Amino acid sequence: MLSKPFSLVGKLILITGAGTGIGRGVALQLARQGADVVLSYRGSSQGAREAVEQIQSMGRRAVAIQADLKNILDCRRVVDEAVQFLGGLDGLINNAGMTLTKDFLRVTEEDYNDIYNLNIRSQFFTCQQAVPYIITRGKEFETLFPDRKWMGGSIVNISSVHGNTGFSGHSVYAGTKGAINAFSRELAIELCPKHIRVNVLAPGSIEVPSYFSDPNYNREAGNRLVPWGRIGLPEDVGYLAAYLMSDAAEFMTGQILYLDGGLTAKMAIDWQPPEGAREMEMKK
């Protein structure tokens, strides 16, 4: 039995797309649970630097690395530099991604390539670069702590409810999220013998700074979108990500976890039973 199964003390984790929004929230929560982290970002340097300062104030090690993960060389570089800073790697959270809302008939080749290159290709090649380091970390653990069992490495690929449900204007974006789901299930099976688990965290409506670029958006409007009655927040994703990185999740792999306040559980048809229907059923 593990004495502190949810603790991340001693864990070394890379989070991509962590300069803002979900990735930033995840990085902060992992650090609160004790992890040392590397945050990669593409354009949000200020957010990444501020997050690093917050994490360092917690007494954890952190650094931000700029990278354009549409470029495979950058996928490999950011993993290598993260390991160099941390001294090893226990886990990877692939959060970097972009969305596109555009009518199917208007999608260009450039649109398609941009979204697929970042959303799924970057996850594939960061995983490929990270796995040997995680294997090495496991071997080192067994040498350093011969009386303790290595509970395995962890990869979490961030997907979306759009990988499971249809929504107008998301033909390209949803395709990448479905690909992430399928790729991650396959990778989970391949990595079981290596003792590295792979899971997908698929958020629903999570309020991030880009939401407020819509002049019609506010928190009250966001709350109405979700059956649970409130919009999701980056820290919600952080809580689940922290669990998946922890030794408590050692038996979980190959799973797609929807964190959506009931969105995917709700049928889209707006229908109410006829008046008296419930009473009639009760009399049967």
**Per-residue pLDDT tens for 120-177?**
999 999 999 999 999 999 999 888 888 888 999 999 999 999 888 888 888 999 999 9
Q: How many domains does the chain have?
A: 1
Q: Of 51, 52, 33, whose CA–CA distance to 242 is shortest?
A: 33
Residue 258 belongs to what domain range?
Answer: 12-283
Residues recognised as catalytic? 159-160, 173, 177
Q: Does residue 7 form part of some domain?
A: no
Residue 281 pLDDT > 80, yes or no?
Answer: no
User: What tens digit of pLDDT does each residue of 23-45 get?
Assistant: 999 999 999 999 999 999 999 99
269 band by pLDDT with thresholds 50, 70 and 90? low
For residues 206 and 232, what is the distance between their CA atoms, to the nearest angstrom? Answer: 4
CA atoms within 13 A of residue 24's CA, in its CB half-sphere? 21
Is position 5 within any domain?
no
Residue 205, pLDDT above cutoff 60: yes
Range scoring the smallest mean pLDDT among 13-22, 52-61, 81-90, 167-176:
167-176
- Residues ≥6 apart with Cβ < 8 Å to 104: 169, 171
pLDDT in tens, 230-263: 999 999 999 999 999 999 999 999 999 999 999 9
Cα–Cα distance for residue pair 207/237, rounded to 1 Å = 11
On whether the CB atoms of residues 68 and 42 are closer than 8 A, the answer is yes
- How many angstroms separate the first and last alpha carbons of the chain? 50
Q: Among 79-83, 221-225, 275-279, whose mean pLDDT is lowest?
A: 275-279
Question: What's residue 280's pLDDT?
Answer: 45
- Expressed in percent and rounded to 5, the helix, strand and coil fractions of the chain are 50, 15, 35
- Classify 68 as helix, strand or coil: coil
* Band of pLDDT at residue 272, cut at 50, 70 and 90: low
- Whether 2 maps to a domain, the answer reads no
* Any domain includes 4: no
**Any domain includes 82:** yes
Average model confidence (pLDDT) for the chain?
Answer: 92
Q: What is the CATH number of the domain that holds 118?
A: 3.40.50.720
**pLDDT tens by residue, 104-128:** 999 999 999 999 999 999 999 999 9
Give the model's pLDDT for residue 273: 59
**Segment 82-96 mean pLDDT:** 98
How far is the C-alpha of 36 from the C-alpha of 9, rounded, in Å? 8
